[in-house]
Chain A
Amino acid sequence: MTLYAFYGAVEQGFAFGLMVLGLYLTFRILDFPDLTVDGSLPLGAAVSAVAITNGHSPVLAIIMASCAGFLAGMVTGILNTKFRILHLLASILTMISLYSINLRIMGKPNMTLLGKDTVVDSFTAFSGLPQYMSTPILFCIICAVAVAVLIWFMHTEIGMTVLATGNNPQMITSLGVNTHTVIIFGVGLSNALVAASGALVAQNQGAADVNMGVGTIIAGLASVIIGETLFGDRTIARALIAALLGSVIYRIAIALALGLKLGAFSVTPSDLNLITAILVVSALVMPKMKKKVLAGRAK
């Protein structure tokens, strides 16, 4: 792996880091498998691309993207709670409608940002570093701020109810909290993060594309699971940081796979999806193996 590929992997890890944090919120904390993300990631990209093209600042574009993502997540939450549609189905419905909505927002399937001012360009100019170094630093800072805010939020009263809703909905209902509101808000918050991630990715790759959400959920889940396996999830702070690092490690693994050559055997581009799947399966299986080994030792 070359230096550029390594920096690039770190950069991608953090660019998708916000998405992984969002996914952690729904998947682990709210216990809500949310497939909206495959649609809300390009939603964030689309909104930010349109905002930038219309002359708004790239930072405002990210904020607008998050708001759009929040609304998308709320729709999934409302479908699930108020209309009693199974969470998986509710999120799939939002996801497929977002495809059409994203096309409407951009007015075309691919909207270029090449030559436009993005957060990446502004920060590169500000830091004076070459772009391949400045971008991972910028995305790392953004993720660090997001993690800090999330940790703070989880210790507030509302944050506590979000945590409790995922853990024990009966208990939290008996305390007089409306779980519906918490779920709608939680899924909204998650998708706000995912859309912000989409905005970062689009600004980084130079275009928003209606098909860029494909595979988001797989990458997100893989990152969450790799993070948990390697760094643990004892406390909420640790779990969030683990998920973020999981995202970076997942992308480094992909970069390694992309450049893998073992003697005469070299990985061809067509093997990439298989390698991704193997990576996810091993991350899923490893904790169980670890438990088995530990249980074996205890005897």
Chain B
Amino acid sequence: MKKLLVAAMAVLLVAGSVIAGKQHVVSVNQIVEHPSLDAMRQGFMDRLKELGLDATYNVHIAQGNQANNIQIANQIKGEAPDLVLAITTPSAQVVAQKIKDHPIVFTGVTDPVSAGLVKDLNNTGGTNITGMSDMSPMDQHAALVKEIVPDAKAVGVIYNAGEPNSVVLVTRLREEAAKLGMTVEEATIANSSGVYQAAKSLVGRCDAIYIPLDNTVVSALESAIKVCRQNRLPLISGDTDSVARGTIAAVAVDYYGMGVQTADIAKRILADGITPGDIPVEFINKVNLHVNKKAAAEMGVSLPESVLKRAEVVID
């Protein structure tokens, strides 16, 4: 009887999956749990569902430990997924090294070329891997600083020199700021407790502070906000979540949206059967402008009408 039941259930299951279309297995490798990274993952999942693709997920998070990261890559190899979603640079590098026979889509990687994931952004000579870069549109970031503080000569920046993404962002910021006639004053930190000191060290050396999307600095953002309020130094951030916490403005990526865009790449692989190696690396196609009027007043600037008009979110 039991056997019969099991057999009946098995038949039902098989029939069910046939009706629902192919059930895709997606293995996720994510270095750490973090609101932006989690939002990306959620955006990916929601969008894939919206596209009518049925998928089950094996989600792996290495808790920030890179030794676990390699073990997870081996685990994923054993799961033989239809697609590997790698969130962040170290997660993508380790699956790229270990997994050659399943498609890999990375996201949240700032510079996929210097990370060694693809040879060039067109992905020529590509293999089983493609994805998208979360490179902030630094031209827009620098322009926003200039727009809010028109007579700024020097822009200060606080970042953790140990975060690969931040180093790339600051290099790009230097290029873009130079185009607008601004110099960049740097203050680097090694951990979040250094943010206060770093912010203070910038007082008097610059006309505005910009905080790139740096995990270490953003986690201790309040110390920078405090210093900027006390010294009436405008603070502009590289992510929109920080605006609600007290920075003046940010024109930035919506992480959920980035997950959505990543899912569109995944769809081309899973449903349309395109080889990842034939898909060029994509960049963020949508940014949002958030502003905080109260923070602007506290830091001694009034937001120009042009900025207020463009803003998607205005905090009073």
* Residue positions of A touching B, CB distance < 8 A: 1-5, 7-9, 11-12, 16, 96, 99-100, 103, 108-110, 112-115, 131-132, 201, 204-207, 209-212, 214-216, 219, 251, 254-255, 258-259, 269-270, 272-273
Contacts and interface: CB of A to CB of B under 8 A. Distances in A.
A278 B83 CA distance: 33
A16 B67 contact: yes
Contact of A2 (B59, B79, B93): B79
A207 B77 contact: no
B140 interface: no
A291 to B, nearest CB: 31
Interface string B139-176: 00000000000000000000001111001000000000
Given A99-B162, A210-B162, A272 B115 contact: no
Nearest to A271: B63
B66 interface: yes
B66 A2 contact: no
Contact of B96 (A206, A209, A254): A206
B66 A5 contact: no
Contact of A132 (B68, B77, B162, B163): B77
A131 B77 CA distance: 12
Contact of A205 (B33, B61, B69, B190): B69
Given A8-B74, A96-B190, A115-B116, A110 B65 contact: no
A215 B167 CA distance: 24
B67 A219 contact: yes
A109 B161 contact: yes
20 contacts: A2-B78, A3-B78, A5-B74, A5-B75, A8-B71, A16-B67, A108-B114, A112-B93, A205-B66, A205-B70, A206-B98, A207-B93, A207-B97, A210-B162, A214-B65, A216-B67, A254-B71, A255-B71, A272-B63, A272-B68
B93 A132 contact: no
Contact of A206 (B63, B116, B167): B116
Contacts of A214: 64-66
Interface in B49-86: 59-75, 77-79
B68 A211 contact: no
A211 B165 CA distance: 13
Contacts, number: 135
A8 B162 contact: no
Main secondary structure of the interface of B (DSSP, over half): helix
A108 B64 contact: no
A8 B73 contact: yes
B246 interface: no
A4 B69 contact: no
A215 B117 CA distance: 26
A2 B273 CA distance: 27
B177 to A, nearest CB: 20
Given A108-B114, A201-B67, A212-B67, 4 more contacts: A1-B78, A112-B116, A114-B96, A272-B63
B90 interface: yes
Contacts of A114: 93, 96-97, 115-117
Main secondary structure of the interface of A (DSSP, over half): helix
A97 to B, nearest CB: 11
Interface string B176-193: 000000000000001000
B118 to A, nearest CB: 10
A30 to B, nearest CB: 24
A254 B67 CA distance: 10
Nearest to A254: B71
A109 B164 contact: yes
Given A4-B77, A210-B162, A110 B90 contact: yes
Nearest to B114: A112
B261 interface: no
A5 B66 CA distance: 16
Contacts of B163: 109
B66 A108 contact: no
A235 B33 CA distance: 44
A205 B93 contact: yes
Given A114-B117, A214-B66, A103 B71 contact: no
Contacts of A131: 98
Nearest to B117: A114
B67 to A, nearest CB: 6
Contacts of A3: 78
Nearest to B163: A109
Given A114-B96, A270-B63, A109 B74 contact: no
B71 A9 contact: yes
A4 B66 contact: no
B68 A258 contact: yes
